[in-house]
A and B are shown apart, each in its own frame.
Chain A
């Protein structure tokens, strides 16, 4: 039994709305990318993209994946392809047809806290008639520009980041925020895979163990002679 996370609970209804409206969903990796310090975060975001994109493979629009680090481009392309492939040959045929019409993975320059990336996404909101935005990966304060632009178009935003500034902005501006390490838990919540569920159970246990150790160390440091 996993603890409820509002953002993950909202994903099925948001993806269904996207299919019904015939509008694409947008998933951003931010500046998370393989080959950098954010490699595990990039893979976690790819996990989120994989399970979310699978839900819209029946739709008429290709999901849009955006990155700001070029090394995340192959990962994003592969994630999108795998999501369609997982749904069988018919979905794969649809993927190949949709690819002719629109490029599903996009790079906007460049790097961490890129305002050029934020302005590119802001322009994309209206150009591509995006239904829902999943702004994840590594994002800082520039997330405010993207979320605000999405709200101007009355679009739902789910946001999360490994940066504290990004998390604060997500809490304030997103409809649903993924706080702390919640962005890493997509496999268990969206995919319901045994590995994902196991991973989330281990993460919860480790977190509890860490809290217990911190409390124990604090108590011991107070109790020992000359402690605080």
Chain B
């Protein structure tokens, strides 16, 4: 059986760091003698806290990586002149807006007083949030389109049931008189089968998440090999 040194080393480091962090965060004063060994003897909580801090710093630094990635994607497209003119223009506008906003922010930091409303916050509130709100409104149409498309491609029991539930939810939400029975049925559906189904799905995901976590801790995951 052949082992690669780098692979073994990374597995050992990950398993060791994982266990130290887990034990350091998990074991508290309620564990009695074990807590004394872990805290005073091995000082694992200190190491665990250090590892968590390092992780937070690394995650924060990756924001810079994201910005560089965004720039490289669009610069590559502009440099190679690939794709339609509209796509290249898209990339050009994105880069210009990015550089413009960055410069504006730096100028503002140097010149503005605390009482002044920043142009960057106006850009965020009046442009970005407004555009995202418009997109959120579009979501409704996407969902209606999706529901209509479902039965066009294939008619199955589960698809018909899904559409029936969507219609029922919409009807029950109507402020009309004489819908008492429908509303009661909707309330029961929400409380019993839908609640049970949602919990079932979440339990399944929870189990799978725990299983994946254990595989990482025991060095079974190949991602870092």
Contacts and interface: CB of A to CB of B under 8 A. Distances in A.
Given A148-B146, A181-B208, A71 B59 contact: yes
A171 B162 contact: yes
B142 A181 contact: no
A49 B71 CA distance: 24
Contacts of A35: 55-56, 58-59
A119 B87 contact: no
23 contacts: A35-B55, A43-B216, A46-B223, A70-B59, A73-B66, A74-B62, A101-B80, A102-B76, A106-B70, A106-B73, A107-B70, A109-B66, A116-B128, A119-B135, A144-B139, A145-B142, A147-B146, A148-B146, A169-B143, A180-B205, A184-B208, A195-B215, A199-B220
A130 interface: no
B143 A172 contact: yes
Contacts of A43: 212, 216, 221, 223
Contacts of B146: 144, 147-148, 169, 172-173
Interface in A169-214: 169, 171-173, 175, 179-181, 184-185, 195, 199, 202-203, 206-207, 210
Interface in B163-187: none
Interface of A: 35-36, 39-41, 43-44, 46-47, 70-71, 73-75, 78-79, 101-103, 105-110, 115-116, 118-119, 123, 127, 141-142, 144-145, 147-148, 151, 162, 164, 167, 169, 171-173, 175, 179-181, 184-185, 195, 199, 202-203, 206-207, 210
A106 B211 contact: no
Ranked 8 nearest A-B pairs via Cβ: A181-B208, A70-B66, A40-B212, A184-B208, A144-B142, A173-B146, A70-B62, A107-B66
B76 A105 contact: no
Interface string B41-69: 00000000000000110110011011001
Interface string B73-104: 10010001011100100100000000000000
B65 A207 contact: no
Given A44-B212, A71-B59, A181-B204, 20 more contacts: A35-B58, A40-B213, A47-B223, A70-B59, A70-B66, A73-B66, A78-B223, A103-B72, A110-B66, A115-B132, A116-B132, A127-B83, A127-B87, A144-B139, A169-B143, A172-B147, A172-B150, A173-B146, A184-B209, A206-B211
**B: interface residue count bin:** 35 or more
A103 B212 contact: no
Interface stretch (B27-35, B109-117, B195-203): B195-203
Contacts of B72: 103
Nearest to A146: B142
B211 A199 contact: yes
Contacts of B82: 101
Nearest to A105: B69
Contacts of B222: 47, 195
Nearest to A72: B62
Contact of B69 (A106, A110, A179): A106
Contacts of A206: 207, 211
B145 interface: yes
Contacts of A147: 142, 146
A43 B217 CA distance: 13
